[in-house]
Amino acid sequence: MSDASQPGGPQVGSGNSNRPQRRSRHELRHLDEKDLIFELVKDICNELDVRSLCHKILQNVSTLLHADRGSLFLVQGERSGTAVAAAAAAAVITTNAPPSPNHEVAANNSNNENNLQRNDQSYLRSRCLVSKLFDVCSRSTLMEMEKKDEIKIPWGTGIVGYVAESGEPVNIPDAYKARHENYFFIKQSILICFDLFNCEIDALTGYRTRALLCMPIKDCNGDVIGVAQVINKLGGEGQFTAQDEKVFAGYLQFCGIGLRNAQLYEKSQLEVKRNQVLLDLARMIFEEQSTIEHMVFRILTHTQSLIQCQRVQVLLVHKASKGSFSRVFDFEANDLAGEDSDSRTSPFESRFPINVGITGYVATTGETVNILNAYEDPRFDPLVDDGIGFRHRTILCMAIKNSSSQIIGVIQLINKFDDLPFTKNDENFVEAFAIFCGMGIHNTHMYEKAIIAMAKQSVTLEVLSYHASASLEDAQRLKNLRVPSSAHFQLHDFKFDDIHMEDGDTLTACLRMFLDLDFVERFHIDYDVLCRWLLSVKKNYRNVTYHNWRHAFNVAQMMFAILTATQWWKIFGEIECLALIIACLCHDLDHRGTNNSFQIKASSPLAQLYSTSTMEHHHFDQCLMILSSQGNQILSNLSPEEYSRVVKVLEEAILSTDLAVYFRKRGAFLNLARSGGYNWAFGDHRELLRGMLMTVCDLAAITKPWEVEKRVAELVSSEFFEQGDIERRTLNITPIDIMNREKEDQLPMMQVGFIDSICLPIYEYIFETSLHASYLDEEICAFAHLSDKLVPLVDGVSTNKQHWLEIAESKCQMETCTNHDRTLSASASDNEETNEQADQ
């Protein structure tokens, strides 16, 4: 083989063709020792791949020491337990190991066993030496070496283990001589003895070992991070000299720095990969909500991909599952390669008691458990291995907690590959991983609960929808009734009064409004469905004092009268008019006889659902529920665009009946009316007008003849007083005056204040808006000056205000007279007493 493949040949594994080529072996031999070391240091200083670096180091030390072969072992594992004094170790072992398939070095003689028993067992088993490259000769290539299996040597075992543990070199000049007689040498006044040399590996490989030099590799802190070993000095010397030890140690100082840098780089790459896995897991947790099975399966696969081990388990805890884990998920390293990998998302039957074994201990205490030999730990339950063909060795088990630090499960990693122990670094990663797992499992639990709640809600809504809908028989009876004309019902009259109408008459009157506005024909509303929908709407009004079906019917009648009297239906168009009539009929659905303020004070479920316009949002939701119920879908034949438009206008209109919304929008509308700058072709202007119209119709009783207004006012005040009584009784608060039964005598003046602050401004400007309305452009359809049609509304408000003022004045006069009579009576009584005293 040419020099190009020797240590002096081109770089192997560097992956960088731009680097300068290494000197040939022939060129290196002609350099003096100082230049040679300098050249060999340059060769390794930029190498960051650990395996490639080890290969270069071995080839370079072979060149440097004229050695035939070399091996390099790196320390794995962490310091734990009580450190053992290196000088106290008297390990007796051969230079080479007994034969095994992977050339594993072992020494199990009695002296060594006794030594191991004297030392801290966890310390000895937690660290080991692993051969990155073994038996590298001057002609070996990195590719050839990578095909060989790694060799693992227990800490403190054999020559390599002794050198790693003690930090001292070992130089054996003749291995076969040591085979026939014990070989002694002295290090720091301690007598070290190596047993007979085992030549079986030489027999297997056909190679004869003579001289051996084994040297520790230390980092800049003096910690041993590896052991380099060279075999058979070439040339006439036959054995490695003290000078070789000195040169070897000097070069390995640079190698230690290079190896530490490469290991740090390798560790940083691993951390990058682990961080990426954590980020992927976080993304999965917060973006891909799914079942708990799929969530845990992703957790298991991510864990196994980062910490190579035979098995990963997640065992979940649930309060309802007493005595054992609620669900157990088990994932083996070869599961992904199997055809039934999808089946691994299903949990196994829980057969693990929650108070037994390692998992039970962790689930109970929350402590992390990292053990090197399961069968030597009293907390381990060996019964888990019975009959499954699997044996637990190393275990890392950690609690999974939710955001409240409650234990919701445990994650357990079993048997790390290559019989290595789980390190502190593994613990740190699994701890971080467990936090994400806890968040993911908790979120998925919440997601599953939300799905179940939604399913229950769907079923409940379906049941409620069924019971909220009118029966087909009632709808059929309504359908068969004759529908009188609008004139018969006086639906166009602003003074309309429903006092003499039966409930059936109110339903047929609603049918007449739909027919006269051409909604049935224009929107292809099934007449049977319309009848059932009207009955369902009526059915969903509660039997409260005022905000009941009759109030909704009266509001719809006033909207119908205004739209037809002013011809404003031409402004809004058929779709918006349909939405307005539906909104009027539904604007107080399921009203409980209490207002928004009461819902907030009582912290009702409705107030928790809707923070503003509480009841109005509820009315709208009830309206949509009925519209979407089977057999009540009067909008089913609208196009998607028309349906969306109706629902949007419907929501705006119903929310506009909240007086808080009215006050918020009234200023903009009044400014628009005063300035005359309105244009009904603009959607915002029409929305303002629709909102004001809903308030006008909702408060329309104030415009009716005095008999109607007085009757309605008594109903409203009665409902208000009922709410005040509830507030006083259940909430222990004093109601406001308008709801305080004790202030009933002030009702006339409160009505006057209501008219002045709320009613008159909007009715006057609605009137003025009609009075000053100009024709629209031809695309929208113009309408004429119709102010005289709305005069009765303003007149009705003014008239009723005057009536309330008269009543208030009358009450005031009566109170004055009563007080005067009381004063006269009291004065007369005082005079009588005075006279009696005078007589006495």
- The number of beta carbons lying within 10 Å of the beta carbon of residue 522 is 12
Cβ proximity of 394 and 374 under 8 Å:
yes
Q: How many angstroms separate the CA atoms of 231 and 137, rounded?
A: 10
Q: How many angstroms separate the CA atoms of 759 and 756, rounded?
A: 6
Tokens standing for residue 63: 């060149």
**Residue 54, C-beta contacts closer than 8 angstroms, at least 6 positions apart:** 72, 74, 132, 133, 259
The stretches of 89-221 forming alpha helices (DSSP H) are 110-118, 121-126, 142-146, 158-166, 175-180, 200-205
Question: If DSSP states are collapsed to H, E and C, what string results for 567-583?
Answer: CCHHHHHHHHHHHHHHH
Query: What residues form DSSP beta bridges with 332?
Result: 311
Number of helical (H) and strand (E) elements in the chain, helices listed first = 30, 13
Strand, helix or coil for residue 782: coil
706 is in an annotated binding site: no
Choice among 103, 392, 442, 547 that is catalytic: 547
For 657, phi and psi rounded to 5 degrees? -75, -5
550 is in an annotated binding site: yes
For 43, phi and psi rounded to 5 degrees? -65, -30
Q: How many angstroms separate the CA atoms of 720 and 789, rounded?
A: 33
Cβ proximity of 369 and 412 under 8 Å:
no
∠ Cα 722 728 734 (to 5°): 110
For 782, phi and psi rounded to 5 degrees? -85, 160
**Residue 472, C-beta contacts closer than 8 angstroms, at least 6 positions apart:** 532, 631
Strand, helix or coil for residue 289: coil
Q: Is 547 a catalytic residue?
A: yes
Cβ proximity of 40 and 118 under 8 Å:
no
Q: What single-letter amino acid sits at 492?
A: H
114 is in an annotated binding site: no
549 is in an annotated binding site: yes
Cβ proximity of 244 and 277 under 8 Å:
no
∠ Cα 571 573 578 (to 5°): 125
493 is in an annotated binding site: no
Tokens standing for residue 548: 């009941």
Cβ proximity of 471 and 527 under 8 Å:
no
**Residue 399, C-beta contacts closer than 8 angstroms, at least 6 positions apart:** 362, 363, 366, 367, 368, 407, 409, 410, 434
118 is in an annotated binding site: no
698 is in an annotated binding site: yes
Concatenate the DSSP letters of all residues of 330-350 into one string.
EEETTTTTSTTGGGGGSPBP-
Q: Which residues of 31-67 are buried (b: 16+ CB within 10 A; e: fewer)?
A: eeeeebbebbbebbeebbbbbbbbbbbbbbbbbbbbb
Q: How many angstroms separate the CA atoms of 184 and 173, rounded?
A: 12
Tokens standing for residue 504: 């059936």
Q: Are strands 127-137 and 170-172 parallel, antiparallel or unpaired?
A: unpaired
**Residue 203, C-beta contacts closer than 8 angstroms, at least 6 positions apart:** 99
Binding residues for AMP: 547-551, 588, 698, 751
Catalytic residue list? 547
Binding residues for Zn(2+): 551, 587-588, 698
Binding residues: 547-551, 587-588, 698, 751
